[in-house]
A and B are shown apart, each in its own frame.
Chain A
Amino acid sequence: MTNNLDLEEKMKKIIGLSRDLVDISHEMGYEKSDKINREIISRIEKDMEYYSLDDLNKISLLILNEDQL
């Protein structure tokens, strides 16, 4: 079972991943969307192995709770 510390680390990693995706969109803004999509998918798949479904559900809940605070 993933502990909270791990979970925070993982969440931080996903935030980093999300920023990378925005970066890709920014830097490839003048490229065709297919090309950007491919780049994004390849970036996401690189990180996929780090997270279990359970982790992702918990992270999602954490973000939701933060929003409500």
Chain B
Amino acid sequence: MIIEKIHLNNWRCFSGSHEIQIPYNVNKPITIVLAYNGMGKTSLMNAFLWCLHEMTTERFKKKEGFINDSVSIYDEATDSYTKEVSSFVSLTIKHNEERYLIKRMFKVGRETETTLEVFNIKDDGNNVSITTDDPQAFVDSIVPPSMAKQFFFDGEGVIKLVDDSNSDNKKESQLGRQVIKNGVHSVIGLDPASTSLKQVQGLIISAKREKTKVGGNDTGGNKESPEKELSKILDEINEIENVTDGTGTLIDENNKYSELKTKYEKAKQDSQKYKNLKAEVELKEQLIIVKNQAYKKFELAKKKYLEALSSNQIINFMMQEEGEKAKELFKENKSPRYPGKMHREIIDELLANEECLCGRPLKKKGDEEAYKHIERQMHRATNEESSQMYYDLKTAASNYAHFEETGDDDLSQAESELAIANSQFLLADDDYEKRGKVINTSKYKEKEARNIANKIDELEDLKEISAKKIGSLGAQLIALKEKEEKISKKISSSSTKGDLISKIDRKIRLLQVIEQIIRKEIKSNEELARSSIEKSVREYLKKYFIGDIKFYLTDDYQLKVIKPKSKKDKDKDTSGGESLLIGTGYVASLLQYCIGRKDNKYDLENDEEMWILKGTQLPFVIDSPFGGQGGRYRRGSCNIVSDSKAQVIYFLSETQADKTVYEALKDKVDKVYAMIGYRSGDESDETLEEIGNKGVSNKDDYLRWGESSEIFGVEYDKGGNDRTVFKVLNKNSWVDI
């Protein structure tokens, strides 16, 4: 990174807008800012640090001072700002052939806010905002923050790079070493390599996890092979299937159940048989009723028959006997008109007989009418009537004959009914006898069937329990079969899985090889950097400082000065000036090393043996670099720094920018900025010209620089209080003063 320009706007003591160009070329790499103490050079140095990393040196941390008093309206009573105001610092830099504008703004008002913007400055002058969510990370990638602390500090800080064992604060020294180590790692290009190493290590872990997930056993777990797992599952399935019939029914219980079920079915059939027989018995009982009815009917018919038989004989006899009597009477009584008393008796007798002949009770009405009719006829009592009576008697006889015929029919019917009833009775009786035995057997069977039914009820309960058991076994079986299927599939696809595992294995191995290479390269680069820097410091010291200082670069990149052992040599103990010189030599060597590495590309054709990491070129921006150094150390420091070819921005007070420094740097300085005017807090009413005229020594101090370089004067607005106007004066006008 090369700084091309700094732009300050109402930042700290710089009122209004100020741009300072910082030219750089390898032959004249130094820019000097001259100012008396209290005029604002440390503010300017802090502007660089703040713009890049929002860092400041200890004295400049208070944010209230970030905005120039000319615009800041800070109310101390309320501890707040009365309106929204802002200040900013921007840096124009060149990095990897690209130009960037880094702008940090501080805003106060309702809220205090610091923002950072980074733009890529195109050749046509347009600014394009860089596409990143984290502009600070982008800036950090150009200037590592750990390095910023080393390269933007007050001059005495350089001593921290050197351990001469004089440090009273070991902890601070340790912390300082770590910062230095991190910083050096960054600038020699180890940061990206270390980041890559971490990323590759992370990828190895991810790949190993991926392998485990796929089914590889790289993690060393006790996971069985799918084949083993399958065989185990098949055993479990067999075990379950052995106690079941494969459909989820337990074999033992099922057998018992089947056996009883058969018995039950048989008993059920027997029971049905019994029921059928029972129905038959009921039928038989009905038959007995029928038989009894038939028997009664038979008895009745028999009686009727016998009665009919008896009546028939009687009527026949009577008809014969009475017919003869009637014939005789007819003969005797030729004139039937007077039948006399005898006739009358005969009629009465006949009538009486007629009643008997009927063999049944006379129909009352008809018979009475007939009787009355006869009686009436008898009252008329003539021969004719007697004769008529004879014919009537004949008719009666004829009627009787008819009755005789019908009486035979009744008899026959009665006989026939008797025969049927008798046969039905016999049949029913026979059946009853025959089936009675079966009924007895069926009754026993029914009892047995009932017992079996009870057992079956118990079995149903058992079956329910078994079903639950079977359910659980079935579920187990299903789960096992699913597992079996899955593993079988797994095994069948093992070739694909095998390929995948093999691919992951190769990936892991490749990443491990890459890890090996990066580690090796980091180590090589560190060794190279350490030896190169050490060598360079030795050369610088040999070239620009005659002295016998023994030192080495530690693993923490700190220069360790070896103290002399002899009493004579102890008198030559390293002074602060020497340490500062060695430190400067170290910084210069480091910068030089980085510049040398900056443009190196990874060219396999020419660089097979050693992989050179890209270094980061950084400017050396340092306030009061010479501290308490005496003339010879200052000269040495100046020569070493200018020899490094690194961009250097020196902030020098009039006491530091002395003749020795001037002589050492005069040919290496491109621009000198002189900040002249009122010191902070100066209440003087003098004009700039008056100050210039008054301070001859000032004039001498600055004129010296004016002889070799272009000088820009800085005019402060009078009144002090950090109200500063930065005004550029041309060389001639300055010289005239």
Chain A residues within CB distance 8 Å of chain B: 12, 14-19, 21-26, 29-33, 36-37, 40-41, 44-45, 47-48, 51-53, 56-57, 59-60, 63-64, 66-67
Contacts and interface: CB of A to CB of B under 8 A. Distances in A.
Interface string B394-434: 00000000000000000000000000000000000000000
Given A37-B203, A44-B510, A67-B520, 12 more contacts: A17-B514, A18-B518, A23-B602, A25-B195, A30-B137, A44-B507, A48-B506, A51-B506, A52-B506, A53-B502, A53-B506, A64-B516
Given A21-B514, A22-B613, A37-B199, A56 B506 contact: yes
A59 B141 CA distance: 33
A22 B518 contact: yes
B517 interface: yes
A56 B132 contact: no
Given A21-B200, A22-B196, A37-B199, A14 B514 contact: yes
A67 B523 CA distance: 10
A25 B514 CA distance: 14
27 contacts: A12-B604, A14-B513, A14-B514, A15-B604, A16-B604, A18-B514, A19-B602, A21-B199, A22-B192, A22-B196, A24-B196, A25-B199, A26-B614, A30-B135, A30-B140, A32-B133, A33-B199, A36-B195, A37-B202, A40-B199, A40-B200, A51-B510, A56-B506, A56-B509, A60-B509, A63-B516, A63-B517
Nearest to B136: A30
Interface residues of B, number: 40
Contacts of B133: 32
Contacts, number: 108
4 closest residue pairs by CB, A with B: A26-B192, A29-B141, A30-B137, A30-B138
Contacts of A14: 510, 513-514, 517
Interface string B167-206: 0000000000000000000000101110110011011000
A23 B601 CA distance: 10
A60 B516 contact: yes
A7 to B, nearest CB: 12
Given A16-B604, A18-B518, A48-B506, A30 B134 contact: yes
A40 B203 contact: yes
A49 to B, nearest CB: 9
Contacts of A12: 604, 608
A31 B132 contact: yes
Nearest to B140: A30
A42 to B, nearest CB: 12
A41 B513 contact: no
B469 interface: no
Contacts of A64: 516
Contacts of B511: 44
Interface in B584-631: 602, 604, 608, 611, 613-614
Contacts of B200: 21, 40
A16 to B, nearest CB: 6
Majority DSSP secondary structure for residues of A touching B: helix
A41 B509 CA distance: 14
B390 to A, nearest CB: 153
A19 B199 CA distance: 13
B241 interface: no
A17 B516 CA distance: 13
B690 to A, nearest CB: 51
Contacts of A67: 520
Nearest to B189: A26
Nearest to B507: A48
Contacts of A19: 602, 611
Contact of A57 (B135, B199, B509, B517): B509
A14 B200 CA distance: 13
Contacts of B502: 53
A22 B522 CA distance: 11
A64 B516 CA distance: 8
A52 B134 CA distance: 40
A44 B504 CA distance: 12
A59 B507 contact: no
B192 A48 contact: no
B136 to A, nearest CB: 8
Contacts of B134: 30
B205 to A, nearest CB: 12
Contacts of B510: 14, 44, 47-48, 51, 56
A12 B191 CA distance: 23
Interface string B315-331: 00000000000000000
B272 interface: no
Contacts of B203: 37, 40-41, 44
A63 B192 contact: no
A3 to B, nearest CB: 19
B503 interface: yes
A16 B503 CA distance: 21
A30 B102 CA distance: 15
Nearest to A67: B520
Contacts of B516: 60, 63-64
Contacts of A44: 203, 507, 510-511, 514
B192 A23 contact: yes
A12 B513 CA distance: 12
B506 A59 contact: no
Contacts of A48: 503, 506-507, 510
A34 to B, nearest CB: 10
Interface string B363-391: 00000000000000000000000000000
A44 B206 CA distance: 14
B140 A16 contact: no
Interface in B515-563: 516-518, 520-521
A33 B193 CA distance: 14
Nearest to A17: B514
B654 interface: no
